Structure 1
Amino acid sequence: MKKQKEMLDEYDFSKGVRGKYVKAYEQGVNIVKLDSDVSKIFPDTKSVNEALRTLIHLVSKQKNTSSKGPATL
């Protein structure tokens, strides 16, 4: 079996569209690489965002509780 080269000698960009993603990048792009153990639990954008929003809610709730003094039962 012949091993395939990773890169071709030439590429045809004649049908490429210049600036195709400019507007999306102007709005802001934030790419984060997840470690493999994390990506097994959070496999897509939606699950990562839900988890982070839950964490944000819990942290802000904890900050509000701790700023009011010791909690009473």
Structure 2
Amino acid sequence: GRTQLGCAATALARLGDPRALPALTEALGHPLVPSELGPGVARLGEAALPLAGALRQRLGEAVLDERA
């Protein structure tokens, strides 16, 4: 199934704490990213800048269907 960030990483991301970046980076490398990744990145604001390249790559690989 889907990868999970884990309680600590999710809490850090929700607080906008950049210590969540390693866990978010790792999650982006998995075939299925956790659902909490998006909200976590949004809460990080400018601190999420190191994730921009990986996020762009993942979005570019996304297959869109009629639900997208």
TM-score by length of 1: 0.21
Structure number having the greater helix percentage: 2
Structure of greater relative contact order (alpha carbons < 8 Å, 6+ residues apart): 2
TM-score by length of 2: 0.22
